[in-house]
Amino acid sequence: MATSDRGAVGANCALSTPIPRRGFVELLLGGGFLATAIAFIYPVLRYFVPPKTADLGGDSVVAAKVGELQLNSGKIFRFGSRPGLLIRTANGEYHAMSAVCTHLSCTVQYRPDLREVWCACHNGTYNLDGRNISGPPPRPLEAYDVQVRGDEIFVSRRREG
Ligand code: FES
């Protein structure tokens, strides 16, 4: 009986290549070190080498459907990789601008009570054309053109020149 058990063990060892204990530990440590190194290096590389397809957005997007915004309200929409702000004034006019504050890049919002664009980070305010009127923002927000076509509201970048 003992002979057949030994034979079975011997047969199993013969089928698989034994890994020495020391080699196994070295392999484990090496793999752990490699994984740790990749975990540190990868984010640094991604920071210094931005993706080739940086999405700067098209020149025009559909920001909302007609009737989606009530009078005296605003909506944040996606313009490429950045937020934009579409405002419908109390008179029914549309205004659109970048929603990225020119101070430290917080996302601004429309304040119906003030009828202004407001940045909650440091209490900066802009008028409905995006001009900075109080607080720390140093420059106006980038203003966009608005066009209503059919039942969609298109927002587009203004052409230079
Ligand atoms: S980030 Fe907007 S006021 Fe500072």
When pLDDT is averaged across residues 39-50 and rounded to a whole number, the result is: 81
Calculate how far, in angstroms, residue 86's C-alpha sits from the geometric centre of ligand 1: 19
Nearest atom in ligand 1 to the alpha carbon of residue 135 is 3
**Mean per-residue pLDDT over the chain, rounded:** 86
Nearest atom in ligand 1 to the alpha carbon of residue 137 is 3
Cα of first residue to Cα of last residue in the chain, in angstroms, is 96
Q: What is the pLDDT of residues 73-90, one digit of tens each?
A: 999 999 988 999 999 999
Q: What is the pLDDT of residues 126-156, one digit of tens each?
A: 999 999 999 999 999 999 999 999 999 999 9
Calculate how far, in angstroms, residue 138's C-alpha sits from the geometric centre of ligand 1: 9
Q: What is the pLDDT of residues 47-64, one digit of tens each?
A: 777 655 444 456 899 999
Nearest atom in ligand 1 to the alpha carbon of residue 108 is 2
Q: What is the pLDDT of residues 104-128, one digit of tens each?
A: 999 999 999 999 999 999 999 999 9
DSSP string, 26-37: HHHHHHHHHHHH
Name the pTM for this structure. 0.66
- DSSP, collapsed to helix, strand or coil, labels residue 4 as helix
Task: State the pLDDT at residue 27.
Answer: 86
Distance separating alpha carbons of residues 113 and 125, to the nearest angstrom:
13
Residues with CB under 6 A from ligand 1: 101, 103-104, 106, 119, 121-122, 124, 135-137
